[in-house]
């Protein structure tokens, strides 16, 4: 599912794909999966992931991530999960994932707003 996610994202948004030009994608897929796993395991304990998400959002500034790029990531993630789940996918599941992603993205954007990149 994670490989499918990146394929969809980079196909639909080559500008985002360029941000990963020097990235070891095997390692990136592992990191992304681990992050998803962590978020799912702590759904009932959001305080456990809040500071991690703020830090993650802040670190994304170094990669050039802009707030408006979170929406295409959500769309690609939902599409990858939908394709992977097949007939098991429902409108309720999609809404739940979109809501969860929106909450995560909001926290990460706050983390990104804590520091702006220097203009050297």
Burial class (CB in 10 A: 0-12, 13-18, 19+), 11: exposed
Look at residue 120 in the predicted model and tell me its pLDDT. 46
- Which residue ranges form the domains of the chain, and what is each CATH number? 2-113 (1.10.490.10)
Which residues are CB-contacts of 78 (< 8 A; sequence separation ≥ 6)? 94, 97, 98, 101
Quick one: tokens of 17? 């794909």
pTM here is 0.86
Per-residue pLDDT band at 42 (split at 50, 70, 90): confident
Lowest average pLDDT, out of 1-10, 22-31, 32-41, goes to 32-41
Q: pLDDT tens digit string along 49-92?
A: 888 888 888 888 888 899 999 999 999 999 999 999 999 999 99
Please check whether residue 76 is in contact with residue 12, taking contact to mean a CB–CB distance below 8 angstroms: yes
Please check whether residue 40 is in contact with residue 99, taking contact to mean a CB–CB distance below 8 angstroms: no
Q: If DSSP states are collapsed to H, E and C, what string results for the chain? A: CHHHHHHHHHHHCHHHHHCCCCCCHHHHHHHHHHHHHHHHHCCCCHHHHHHHHHHHHHHHHHHCCCHHHHHHHHHHHHHHHHHHHHHHCCHHHHHHHHHHHHHHHHHHHHHHHCCCCCCC
């Amino acid at each position: 599912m994670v490989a499918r996610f990146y394929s969809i994202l980079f196909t639909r948004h080559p500008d985002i794909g360029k941000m990963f030009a020097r990235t070891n994608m095997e390692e990136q897929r592992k990191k992304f999966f681990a992050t998803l796993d962590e978020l799912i395991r702590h759904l009932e304990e959001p305080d456990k992931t809040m500071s991690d998400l703020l830090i993650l959002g802040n670190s994304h500034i170094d990669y050039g991530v802009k707030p408006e790029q979170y929406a295409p990531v959500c769309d690609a993630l939902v599409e990858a999960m939908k394709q992977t789940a097949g007939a098991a996918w429902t409108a309720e599941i999609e809404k739940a994932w979109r809501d969860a992603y929106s909450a995560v993205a909001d926290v990460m954007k706050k983390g990104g707003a804590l520091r702006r990149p220097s203009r050297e």
